[in-house]
Homo-oligomer: A and B are copies of this chain.
Amino acid sequence: MTDLFVPLDDHPAYRQIANVIEERIVGRSLRTGDALPSETDLARQFGVNRSTIREAIRELETHGLLGRARGEKRLRVTRPEPRRVSSSVSRALALHDVTFLELWEAMMAIEPVAAQYAAARRTAAQLQALLRAAARFRREVADTTAAVSAVVEFFTAVAAASGNQVLALSQAPLNLLLAPALTRMIDRVPQARARIHEAQDNITEAIKLRRSEQARTWMEKHIRDFKRGHELELTASLTEI
């Protein structure tokens, strides 16, 4: 049951100011790249103290709407980077104690589709990124942390190659959740590394040759493997006690 009436509590000045500035940004009246007035200036314009402005700004900064380039002082309007926002989503999910099965089902829904579109639309540069990620996995297969991060990079590259920002942004949080689960699995299931390697090759090849259907089905198999690997890991960790 959703409430009929709600807060009206947004009162604090810093939140109101944050909202006003946010509206300006999403309404494009402040455009990406524009520099924000100085804090002192904003304080004057809004008729509040600089401390209040700072709290408001902090809010927009963590939303990724404001940011500054390395070593720059002035804040500028930024487009929220997928990494930033997705990390906040996966933190939320982690706090909600999602199970591996939930994660897996979501991956199963998204990744194959992403692979399919990637095969159809990938650019040469995106293919290169994919090849690099696969190569990195092969190269660092012995180092668990590096290998896991290479797997994540691979999925990210596929999603990026799909040419669909929504899919990419939906997929990004899954990666961050996958990492810890994958780390355990890859250490406990001996054949995991070889299977991942093989799957990445097949997927990359299909995307390279622009075979949408193959890319999709290979990715499906790849993700299915994760579930098998996870089950194997569970039994392994049971017998090892």
Contacts and interface: CB of A to CB of B under 8 A. Distances in A.
Interface of A: 2, 7, 9, 14, 22, 25-26, 32, 51, 54-55, 58-59, 61-65, 70-71, 79-80, 82, 85-86, 88-89, 91-96, 98, 102-103, 105-106, 108-110, 113, 117, 153, 164-167, 169-170, 173-174, 177
Contacts of A2: 153
In the assembly, how many copies of this chain are there? 2
B32 A166 contact: no
A130 B229 CA distance: 36
B109 A95 contact: no
29 contacts: A2-B153, A9-B70, A14-B58, A22-B91, A26-B91, A26-B94, A54-B55, A59-B61, A63-B88, A63-B91, A65-B91, A80-B88, A80-B96, A85-B88, A85-B92, A86-B89, A88-B88, A93-B169, A96-B165, A102-B167, A105-B113, A105-B117, A105-B167, A106-B164, A106-B167, A109-B109, A109-B110, A166-B177, A169-B173
Contact of A105 (B80, B166, B174): B166
A88 B63 CA distance: 7
Contact of A80 (B14, B64, B65, B92): B92
